[in-house]
Amino acid sequence: MTEITRDDLRAAVASGMLTEAQAAGVIVLSEERAGARARRSGLDEPFELFKGFNEIFIVVGLVILFAGWMGVTGLSLLSINSGYLLGMLYSGIAFGLIALLARYFTLTRRMVAPSIALAIMFGISAGQFGLSVAAAMDAQFQGTITIAAACAGVMLSLYYYFFRVPFTVALIALSVFGVAFGLATMGGAVPSSPQDIFLLSADGPFALLTILLGIVGLIVALRFDMSDPHRVTRRAASGFWLHVIAAPAIVNTVALTLFEQGSLTARLVLVAFVALMALFAVIIDRRSFLVSGVGYIVALSITVIEGNAFFIILLLGAGLVFLGAQWEALRGALMRGLPAFPGKTGLPPWTIPTPEEQRS
């Protein structure tokens, strides 16, 4: 592949194909991508919650500030009584203040942890605004959940559009789940227990909704991943958080359903399913997909299975340690052995690039 040099960009500017600002943007992007690739350890999956303790310090301050704001305005109470107009007003003020803080901490300082905290606070404020709207409409409990989740989803989508905080995608996904479940309860279906949300054998559409929404979330996450196979932009980070939401929705639903059957056949199918999910996680190079799903299986093993729970946890732990130690080697061998399939070339590379390839 021919490398585009700075001289080429200068020639493009001189010919009018690019403006000076566009050329400068291309140079900055190229240097950022080169630096990100150089910082990656082998083929590891990048992950970052904070860059330094100063970010944790700022998050503590933001949490205290937001808690004080909620307490002073009484926002949670205004949303559900005759003060819903004030609730809308205070939510609107919160939107503006959070946007100003995000403009500084997210767009200017590019801090990770404060950006996540502000996205959560914006989501809470959006939910409060939805509760005020529901109170104004005198909605019942099911309708209140649906309206609050819908408002949160719409407002968070706008927040993601302007600030591109990857964690916001996870909050949007949760709001979609809230809207879907709220609509289901408005249709007359009410889960008799929390397990009904994941049991395919239970009455009601909740388990089916969970797994279908999980699959949709997985597809969107893969779209994010395949648009940035080297995982140096926010699109890949957005895909990461969607995997964290989608994996439990899929894995937990199948696992709990098989757990409840209790037969040896169901247990063997569960083992095969977990192995298949591990294989899929290796192919797409997403440890987050596997860890978030297996974490739920461990919790369910303790609460649902008696006697053999710790044996299953022992096997899962051994499997995760082995995968973590040999992930790159296993993935390289697997991807080289698999025939060509749609999207294979859009997946993250499975061979460590040479220094010359990193510079290209």
Dist CA 302 CA 304 (whole Å): 6
Tokens of 11: 């020639």
Write down the pLDDT at residue 61.
Answer: 95
Write down the pLDDT at residue 300.
Answer: 61
Tokens of 202: 């239970």
Average pLDDT per block of 10 residues along the chain, 360 residues long: 63 71 64 51 64 88 92 62 73 93 91 94 92 80 84 94 93 93 77 68 77 92 87 84 88 79 76 83 84 67 60 76 83 86 82 52
∠ at Cα 17 (6, 28), nearest 5°? 40
Dist CA 122 CA 175 (whole Å): 13
N residues, the chain? 360
Write down the pLDDT at residue 241.
Answer: 92
